[in-house]
């Protein structure tokens, strides 16, 4: 892939969901909704704050993420569809290690 997203943007490739239900019913393409999860393929350098400092993104290349139904802009590169979106459009990271919150004394 020959694209480098700028600032707090990222390139995401949608992950395909299963085409059959647990009971074995095949779902046709016309009845399926577009998946709202994907894999991060590339990220920008971070978000620029008002004072000029850069803050790194929380997501990394290879993370599986959840995003809103109408998030980002769809593009097609070399026959593959991608979405370019901002980090603000990400709802969560799948299979992420849970963060432990410590109690302040």
Instruction: Please report whether residue 104 resides in a domain.
Output: no
Q: What pLDDT is recorded for position 31?
A: 47
Residue from 63, 62, 61 nearest 92 by CA? 63
In which domain, by residue range, is 57 found? 9-17+26-94
Instruction: Please report whether residue 40 resides in a domain.
Output: yes
CATH number at residue 83: 2.30.33.40
* Beta strands in 17-95, from DSSP E residues, in sequence order: 37-43, 47-48, 54-55, 64-67, 73-77, 80-86, 90-94
pLDDT by residue for the chain (105 residues), tens only, comes to: 578 888 889 999 988 765 555 666 666 555 455 668 899 999 988 888 899 898 888 888 989 999 888 888 898 988 889 999 998 888 888 875 555 555 555
Instruction: Please report whether residue 90 resides in a domain.
Output: yes
Q: CA-to-CA distance for 14 and 82, rounded, in angstroms?
A: 7
Q: What pLDDT is recorded for position 4?
A: 86
Instruction: Please report whether residue 1 resides in a domain.
Output: no
Instruction: Please report whether residue 101 resides in a domain.
Output: no
Extract the tokens encoding 19. 């085409």
Q: How many domains does the chain have?
A: 1
Instruction: Please report whether residue 103 resides in a domain.
Output: no
Q: What pLDDT is recorded for position 23?
A: 67
């Amino acid at each position: 892939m020959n694209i480098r997203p700028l600032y707090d943007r990222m390139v995401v490739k949608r992950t395909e969901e299963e085409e059959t239900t647990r009971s074995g019913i095949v779902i046709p393409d016309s009845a399926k909704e577009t998946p709202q999860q994907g894999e991060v393929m590339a990220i920008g350098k971070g978000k620029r704050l008002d004072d000029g400092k850069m803050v790194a993104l929380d997501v990394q290349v290879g993370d599986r993420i959840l995003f809103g139904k109408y998030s980002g802009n769809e593009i097609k590169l070399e026959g593959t569809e991608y979405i370019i979106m901002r980090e603000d459009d990400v709802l969560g990271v799948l299979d992420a290690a849970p963060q432990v919150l410590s109690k302040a004394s």
